[in-house]
């Protein structure tokens, strides 16, 4: 991604629900808060490669994608194209021909566009018995194989969303079937847990960096031995307490760790080490247990050797995670504004030549821009005050 880029997410109801797309956008805002990239959600429930209730594919592409002059377009289709039946030659040909037409149309209208073709996310044949021999997800993987081959021919990026979810889902189902049911509750539409894995796969394909921030501090010498995307200042040791201030260049990924399915998905996959690693290491603390405080708030208590090995701040309830959650909230609000303007005003009222039609669209667009400005402002990291305090001091026994 480059400053000034526009990204359009094109697809069916899985995109319309904006889970994987809002996760991806929020990641970009929290990891690269100084870069301005516009994100547009153009998912329409029921869509196939031929289009759907929002119009034919050619209408949809012109109105809902090309009109935004995007530099990057993602395409996620296929769930509805197999008609939830065993695959036959006609269905396969309709999908492959229609998908090729989509790609050709976009490349002709946007010669410099960078396409990311998303292999269909899974139909859940893991937690529940397949509806027919082989299962419907096998149909989607066949579509995915076509997309992969097309991507190679067209020199487009391809992301396997199916495998990204099925692997962890299978592992979770073997240990905790009730948790696995929450990944794709209705077998079709990924919930937050599966959407997190889809966003991870997409972000990794875009070369998302693994590190949020990294800091390594020597408590004995009161020096910094390593930093990545952060600056550490004013290290001070007072008795057995160590303190410093930290200016980060990024925020952690806004995961709701209270959502048990999301937490299971993150820990069952490589999500944390792959794109949400925020290590803090404090070496040469005297033996004992210590509590980490950030801005006066108690975050976690570990023995000295654990701090020396490192703790991952992104998985803890820090002020930085709270700030990232607000970025995600504003991300969803601006997407909701865009979709409301598009689906409730622009498309259904275009036929009536209403006097206030253009003004209403302009006002809603202006309001969305205000929300986006607030979203970007909220994504700017803040200075934080860190303390490593002996546990007995925290408990009031010393």
Please state, in angstroms and as integers, the Cα–Cα distance from residue 248 to each residue in 252, 368, 379, following that order: 10, 28, 11
The structure's pTM equals 0.94
Q: What is the DSSP letter of 285?
A: P
The torsion of the CA quartet 267, 271, 275, 278, rounded to 10 degrees, works out to: 0
Q: In a 10 Å sphere around its CB, with 0-12 CB exposed, 13-18 middle and 19+ buried, how is residue 57 labelled?
A: buried
What residues are paired with 7 via a beta bridge? 39, 72
pLDDT given at position 396: 57
Q: What would the pLDDT profile of 207-216 be if each residue is shown by its tens digit? A: 999 999 999 9
pLDDT > 80? residue 107: yes
pLDDT > 60? residue 394: no
CA-wise closest residue to 320 among 99, 92, 31, 10: 31
pLDDT given at position 398: 47
Q: What would the pLDDT profile of 150-200 be if each residue is shown by its tens digit? A: 999 999 999 999 999 999 999 999 999 999 999 999 999 999 999 999 999
Mean pLDDT, rounded, of the chain: 96
Q: What would the pLDDT profile of 293-312 be if each residue is shown by its tens digit? A: 999 999 999 999 999 999 99
Rounded Cα distance between 386 and 233, Å, is: 10
CB proximity list for 237: less than 8 A, separation 6 or greater: 219, 222, 243
Which domains, ranges and CATH numbers included, belong to the chain? 6-210 (3.40.50.1110), 213-249+278-398 (no CATH)
Q: What would the pLDDT profile of 44-69 be if each residue is shown by its tens digit? A: 999 999 999 999 999 999 999 999 99
Mean pLDDT across 374-393: 94
Q: Beta strand pairing status for 157-160 and 279-283?
A: unpaired
Q: What would the pLDDT profile of 70-79 be if each residue is shown by its tens digit? A: 999 999 999 9
Mean pLDDT across 82-96: 97
SS3 336: helix
DSSP H helical segments within the chain, as ranges?
13-16, 19-31, 57-64, 89-109, 136-154, 161-175, 177-180, 192-205, 260-268, 271-275, 304-309, 319-340, 347-349, 357-378, 391-394
The helix or strand, by DSSP H or E, that contains position 383, with its residue range, turns out to be strand 383-390
């Amino acid at each position: 991604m480059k400053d000034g880029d526009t990204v359009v997410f094109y697809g069916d109801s899985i995109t319309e629900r904006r889970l994987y797309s809002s996760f991806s956008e929020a990641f970009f805002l929290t990891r690269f808060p100084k870069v301005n990239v516009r994100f547009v959600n153009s998912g329409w429930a029921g869509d196939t490669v031929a289009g759907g209730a929002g119009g034919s594919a050619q209408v949809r592409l012109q109105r809902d994608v090309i009109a935004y002059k995007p530099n990057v377009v993602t395409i996620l289709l296929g769930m509805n194209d197999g008609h939830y039946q065993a695959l036959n030659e006609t269905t396969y040909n309709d999908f492959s021909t229609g998908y090729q037409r989509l790609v050709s149309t976009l490349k002709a209208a946007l010669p410099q566009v960078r396409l990311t073709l998303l292999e269909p996310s899974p139909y859940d044949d893991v937690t529940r018995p397949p509806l027919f021999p082989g299962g419907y997800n096998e149909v989607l993987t066949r579509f995915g194989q076509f997309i992969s081959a097309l991507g190679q021919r067209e020199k487009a990026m391809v992301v396997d969303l199916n495998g990204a979810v099925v692997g962890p889902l299978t592992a979770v189902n073997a240990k905790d079937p009730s948790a696995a049911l929450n990944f794709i509750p209705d077998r079709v539409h990924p919930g937050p847990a599966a959407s997190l894995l889809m966003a991870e796969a997409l972000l990794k394909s875009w070369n998302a960096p693994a590190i949020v921030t990294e800091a390594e501090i020597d408590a004995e010498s009161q020096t910094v031995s390593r930093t990545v995307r952060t600056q550490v200042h004013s290290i001070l040791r007072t008795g057995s307490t160590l303190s410093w201030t930290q200016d980060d260049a990024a925020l952690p990924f806004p995961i709701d760790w209270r959502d048990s399915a999301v937490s299971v998905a993150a820990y069952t996959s490589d999500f944390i080490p792959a794109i949400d690693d925020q290590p803090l290491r404090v070496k040469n603390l005297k033996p004992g247990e210590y509590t980490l405080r950030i801005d006066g708030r108690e975050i976690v208590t570990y023995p000295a050797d654990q701090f020396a090995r490192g703790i991952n701040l992104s998985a803890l309830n820090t002020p930085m995670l709270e700030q990232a959650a607000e970025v995600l909230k504003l991300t969803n609000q601006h997407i909701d504004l865009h979709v409301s303007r598009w689906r409730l005003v622009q498309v259904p009222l275009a036929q009536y030549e209403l006097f206030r039609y253009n003004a209403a669209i302009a006002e809603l667009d202006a309001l969305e821009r205000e929300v986006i400005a607030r979203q970007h402002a909220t994504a700017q990291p803040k200075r934080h005050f860190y303390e490593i305090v002996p546990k007995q001091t925290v408990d009031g026994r010393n």
